[in-house]
Structure 1
Amino acid sequence: MSEQPDLLYSETEEDLRAAVRALLTDRAGHRVLLDRIETEDPYVPGLWGTLAADMGAAGLLVPEKLGGQGASHREAAVVLEELGRAVVPVPYLTSAVVATEVLLGLAGEDGPATELLAGLAAGRTVAVLAVPLSTAPDARPPLTPTVTGVADAAVADVLLVPRADGLYAVPAAAADVEPLTPLDLTRPLARVTTAPGSGSLLAAPDEARAAVRRGLLAGAGLLASEQLGLAEWCLQETVRYTRERHQFNRPVGSFQALKHRMAQLWLDLVGARASARAAAAALATDGPDAPLLVAVAQAYCSRVAVRAAEECVQLHGGIGMTWEHGAHLALKRAKSDQLALGSAGRHQDVVAALMDLPAPA
């Protein structure tokens, strides 16, 4: 195991959080999302350009010599916490994390991967790894022409397509992208079909497999931060509502049964924050225990996010069941994230294998 990581947020990270939260509050409130998610284009116009290019968030993981910000997974995790709180549809996880990490695994002094990476870092290009959103880091991605369940393919400029003979960069305009109807309308999915042989070769099979695994591992680790942010919003909104809502001339939040439920949820959030921060720190230092800490974070945070969203809906009472309240957006995102980049059960199996733990009888 590596040395104990610093799980506290730095001043730079807090400044980044404040900037991202201010942007999302101004441009992507729940009312804005509710007005858009049932349209053909749920993405808020101009939001990605401001976040990715103007604020430089798309290039956080990219070294400065390759055109990026030269930050780390810790800073990217803070961005994802805020995106999780807002449940906003932007291709940050898919493009600025997963696809970017895949290309970083292939980038050298020169070449197509390095050139493509520069476009991603500048926010000019959106790239998406053409695998199902449910693909775990240790899973072999499908090598078929048609792949179902690809997240954010609708806004991709380039698709990174794994094939039997390597990894290809295929212009999205040259592919057939068929929108699907997902549970979580804030993270659109699509069925993607690419013609065999189309696009340009980025890497041979062995190098491609390692790069794809790198991208999926970073995605799974930072997805835990998105789940953390979502759960924090759910608890914060529930506490606020139960202070304001009165029954029998008392705030409902003063009832002992509700206080116990919210207190337990707060304890769960403390554990989720520790595991998500540990995963981000391990990814930032490329520590040998990164696969273990990512698996722990996903196995834990996915459950906490779903429970927090369920409690948010239930403790808001009747208003929590309505379309007009944002609680259902959080619940659908939490349930979708529970299967994204590997289920909790799959990550528990990874923990057991890495720690040489026997399977339960």
Structure 2
Amino acid sequence: MAESEFVFTSEQAQLRDAVRKFSAEHFGEAKARIQMESEPRFDRRVWQRLGSELGVLGLSVPESDGGVGGTLVDQAIAVEELGAALATGPLFGTVFLAIPALVAASGGDDRDELLGALVEGTRTAAFAVPDSAGAFDAAAVTVTGSDSLTGAVARVVDADAADELLVAAMGPEGVALYAVDANGPGVHRTPLVTLDLTRPQATIELSDAPARLLAGADEADRVITHALQIGSALLAAEQIGAAQHLLGLSVEYAKSRLQFGRPIGSFQAVKHRLAEGMVDLEHARSATYHAVWALSDGSDDPALATAIAQALSSTAFSRIATDTIQVHGGIGFTWEHQAHLYFKRATTDAALLGSAEAHRDRVARMVLDTAPADRAPRVATG
């Protein structure tokens, strides 16, 4: 693997700075608390500015499809900064899943129009497609139909206020991917009470809801698999961005908080906790950007790379979120402190597109179960 794979360009550094500056103005703890109690739980004007002004909703979308013609690495950098700022908005449904699915689908009037609107931020989407540890599970599709769809999909992230629903449905020729107007006839959404109030979910019930075909049975599996792999990599990028924010918060607190006349960061137990968090984070960051590059240029098996990235990023974010509360002591457990907002995001993210345990199991199946008997993987004995 080329060493240059992990070198960011000066343009990407400028992109990171621009997204960080925008996020400082429009996201963060105070804004998240406001949006948690709002309907919808994000500011549509800010979302549109992310698309039309900053151009970060479709960074990896080709210019021919209305995007800026950047790379998936660019998209991951932007998502990492948005994760650090606890950005509210339908990132998961729109940017992580719907846009990649539309990019992978064949061109057509419905597909082109919807993709352009999502990239510009004038419309939002949710991805109503079942998965098993980030892999498409066609056997779990519960919606049927073609021109109109009937069925229910439970716990769809960002479906509470989405303008469009991308739905996998079993038709006469097999599973296909359709777009459904979320505010159209035959669509009923039941908002759910969620742990992370900044990442809403809803159960969708369709009853002869009019649908537009995006990807037929001949390409739906490829399109959906591509979207889920991109989504897993971008979710990992969001996780490492949020984890980096929390680790920095804990380090600064450990340097300034005094006990027995000494900064608590001078105590070995606190040092070890922070050092182990840094190791976990750097390991997860390397795996995440490797997965992004694997998806971009085929330098590795994308299914394996994204599974590793998700396993490591979910674990790192969850651990660092827990340690942040511990390092901050009594204040870390309070509603007024921001730690619990990130802890809830970490817990929710760790369950989306498969838990860390599920991804480790998936890695084992891909690496160990398929290994030939004469070339079994070597395992360190310690």
- TM-score of the two chains, using structure 2 as the length reference: 0.88
Residue 74 (structure 1) shift = 0.5
Aligned partners of 2:25 and 2:131: how far apart in 1?
Answer: 29
* Number of the residue aligned with 1:130: 128
Quick one: structure 1 residues 99 and 264, their matched pair in 2 at CA, closer, same or farther if it must change by over 3 Å? Answer: same
Q: Does 1:308 align with 2:324?
A: no
Please say which structure displays the higher CA radius of gyration: 2
* Number of the residue aligned with 2:303: 291
Secondary structure at 1:173 match in 2: coil
8 Å CA contact 2:96–2:235 kept in 1: the answer is no
Residue 226 (structure 1) shift = 0.7
Residue 183 (structure 1) shift = 0.8
Quick one: structure 1 residues 309 and 292, their matched pair in 2 at CA, closer, same or farther if it must change by over 3 Å? Answer: same
Aligned partners of 1:61 and 1:118: how far apart in 2?
Answer: 13
Aligned partners of 2:132 and 2:122: how far apart in 1?
Answer: 27
Gaps of 5+ in 1: none
Residue 36 (structure 1) shift = 3.0
* Number of the residue aligned with 1:216: 228
8 Å CA contact 2:250–2:324 kept in 1: the answer is yes
When structure 1 is superposed on structure 2, of 28-37 and 160-169 the one drifting more is 28-37
8 Å CA contact 2:58–2:75 kept in 1: the answer is no
* Number of the residue aligned with 1:113: 111
8 Å CA contact 2:233–2:292 kept in 1: the answer is yes
8 Å CA contact 1:133–1:341 kept in 2: the answer is yes
Aligned partners of 1:60 and 1:259: how far apart in 2?
Answer: 38
Residue 286 (structure 1) shift = 4.1
Within 5 A, what are the aligned runs for 1:205-354? 205-354=217-366
8 Å CA contact 1:78–1:225 kept in 2: the answer is yes
Secondary structure at 1:325 match in 2: coil
Aligned partners of 1:152 and 1:197: how far apart in 2?
Answer: 19
8 Å CA contact 2:48–2:121 kept in 1: the answer is yes
Aligned partners of 1:347 and 1:125: how far apart in 2?
Answer: 32
8 Å CA contact 1:134–1:343 kept in 2: the answer is no
Aligned partners of 2:66 and 2:370: how far apart in 1?
Answer: 46
Within 5 A, what are the aligned runs for 1:55-70? 55-70=54-69
Q: Does 1:355 align with 2:354?
A: no
Aligned partners of 2:132 and 2:30: how far apart in 1?
Answer: 29
When structure 1 is superposed on structure 2, of 165-174 and 299-308 the one drifting more is 165-174
Aligned partners of 2:314 and 2:4: how far apart in 1?
Answer: 22
Question: For residue 148 of structure 1, what is the amino acid of its counterpart?
Answer: A
When structure 1 is superposed on structure 2, of 112-121 and 22-31 the one drifting more is 112-121
8 Å CA contact 1:131–1:148 kept in 2: the answer is no
* Number of the residue aligned with 2:374: none
Higher relative CO (Cα under 8 Å, sequence separation at least 6) belongs to 1
Residue 132 (structure 1) shift = 5.8
* Number of the residue aligned with 2:71: 72
Secondary structure at 2:210 match in 1: coil
Aligned partners of 2:114 and 2:285: how far apart in 1?
Answer: 33
Quick one: structure 1 residues 100 and 5, their matched pair in 2 at CA, closer, same or farther if it must change by over 3 Å? Answer: farther
Secondary structure at 1:49 match in 2: helix
Aligned partners of 1:45 and 1:167: how far apart in 2?
Answer: 26
Q: Does 1:102 align with 2:114?
A: no
Quick one: structure 1 residues 288 and 244, their matched pair in 2 at CA, closer, same or farther if it must change by over 3 Å? Answer: closer
Aligned partners of 1:20 and 1:134: how far apart in 2?
Answer: 32
Residue 287 (structure 1) shift = 4.2
Residue 146 (structure 1) shift = 1.2
- TM-score of the two chains, using structure 1 as the length reference: 0.93
Quick one: structure 1 residues 314 and 226, their matched pair in 2 at CA, closer, same or farther if it must change by over 3 Å? Answer: same
Aligned partners of 1:77 and 1:92: how far apart in 2?
Answer: 12
* Number of the residue aligned with 1:169: 179
Q: Which of 178, 181, 197 is residue 193 of structure 2 equivalent to?
A: 181
Quick one: structure 1 residues 197 and 43, their matched pair in 2 at CA, closer, same or farther if it must change by over 3 Å? Answer: closer
Aligned partners of 1:92 and 1:271: how far apart in 2?
Answer: 24
Secondary structure at 1:168 match in 2: strand
Quick one: structure 1 residues 94 and 117, their matched pair in 2 at CA, closer, same or farther if it must change by over 3 Å? Answer: same
* Number of the residue aligned with 1:150: 156
* Number of the residue aligned with 1:51: 50
8 Å CA contact 1:133–1:151 kept in 2: the answer is no
Residue 11 (structure 1) shift = 1.5
When structure 1 is superposed on structure 2, of 289-298 and 206-215 the one drifting more is 206-215
Gaps of 5+ in 2: 144-150, 372-378
Secondary structure at 1:50 match in 2: helix
Question: For residue 77 of structure 1, what is the amino acid of its counterpart?
Answer: A
| Deviations 1:155-203, CA, capped at 9 Å, x for gaps | 3211111110122111110221221111111111111122235211222
Question: For residue 20 of structure 2, what is the amino acid of its counterpart?
Answer: R
Secondary structure at 1:305 match in 2: helix
8 Å CA contact 2:133–2:362 kept in 1: the answer is no
Question: For residue 127 of structure 1, what is the amino acid of its counterpart?
Answer: A
8 Å CA contact 1:132–1:148 kept in 2: the answer is no
RMSD of aligned alpha carbons: 2.1
Quick one: structure 1 residues 24 and 133, their matched pair in 2 at CA, closer, same or farther if it must change by over 3 Å? Answer: farther
8 Å CA contact 1:235–1:265 kept in 2: the answer is yes
8 Å CA contact 2:28–2:86 kept in 1: the answer is no
Secondary structure at 1:58 match in 2: coil
Residue 139 (structure 1) shift = 2.7
